[in-house]
Structure formats: structure tokens, C-alpha cells
């Protein structure tokens, strides 16, 4: 199974700060890069996703930055709030194959 490497494993950010989570992939056939958010006791839920024809996608306080040449993408959470405290997973998939390959996850804690 192709790998997606995610860092850091855990992250503590002050309220109002910027949270940054990074992912790197190997398979150049990947063409869909979602981020999932998971709260304790819940299943992961799609937060935001990007395809490689754009370098950035923004939805509210959440932004994905994508660097195709470096095979890296990152999630930025602006003005981080305690309610953002969760585990975040990056993932990758390719057309013609529906399954997602997930990173190991980042536990984010936003302190009040």
C-alpha cells in the first residue's frame, strides 16, 4: 500500500494561533487529497479536499496548500479554537480506485 507520511504526531497551539500539519506522498498517480477530522468517539469526517490542478484551497479558517513538485500538502488552521481540538488525518486517493490511503494522524490540542 502506498504511503502517506504525516507530521507532527501531536501539536499544541494557543487559541488564536495557526496550526500547521504536513503530509508527503510517494505515488504520483494520487490525484485527490482530503483531510479528515476526527473527534473522540466519532468516525473521521471530511474537512476539506484538494485536487492537484490547484495549489491552494481555502474554506473558512481551513486552508490546504499543495506542492505537486515536492509531493507535499499541508493543512493550515487559522485562528485556532479549542473546538478544533481533534485528530486530523491527511489522505490520498487516485481516480479509478476509490480507497483512501491515510496518514497516521495528528492530535491537535488548542489551549484556551
How is residue 95 written as a grid cell? 481516480
Least distance from another protein to the Cβ atom of residue 99, Å: 5
Which residue in 25, 62, 88, 89 binds another protein (CB under 8 A)?
Answer: 89
> Nearer to another protein by C-beta: 40 or 112?
40
How is residue 9 written as a grid cell? 504526531
In this structure, the number of other CB atoms found within 10 A of the CB of residue 28 comes to 10
Determine the longest span between alpha carbons in the chain, in angstroms.
Answer: 44
Per CB under 8 A, the segment of 20-28, 58-66, 70-78, 90-98 that binds another protein is: 90-98
Three-state DSSP class for residue 35: strand
Note the Cα 5 to chain centre separation in Å: 11
97 makes contact with another protein (CB under 8 A): yes
> Nearer to another protein by C-beta: 17 or 31?
31
For another protein, the binding residues (CB under 8 A) are 1, 31-32, 34, 41-46, 49, 89, 93-105
Amino acid at each position: 500500500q502506498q504511503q502517506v507520511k504525516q507530521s507532527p504526531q501531536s501539536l499544541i497551539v494557543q487559541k488564536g494561533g495557526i496550526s500547521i500539519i504536513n503530509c508527503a506522498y510517494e505515488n504520483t498517480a494520487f490525484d485527490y487529497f482530503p483531510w479528515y477530522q476526527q473527534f473522540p468517539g466519532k468516525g473521521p469526517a471530511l474537512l476539506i479536499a484538494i485536487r492537484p490542478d490547484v495549489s491552494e484551497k481555502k474554506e473558512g479558517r481551513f486552508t490546504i496548500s499543495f506542492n505537486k513538485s515536492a509531493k507535499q500538502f499541508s493543512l493550515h488552521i487559522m485562528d485556532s479554537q479549542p473546538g478544533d481540538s481533534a485528530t486530523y488525518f491527511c489522505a490520498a486517493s487516485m481516480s479509478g480506485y476509490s480507497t483512501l490511503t491515510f496518514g497516521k494522524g495528528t492530535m491537535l490540542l488548542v489551549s484556551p
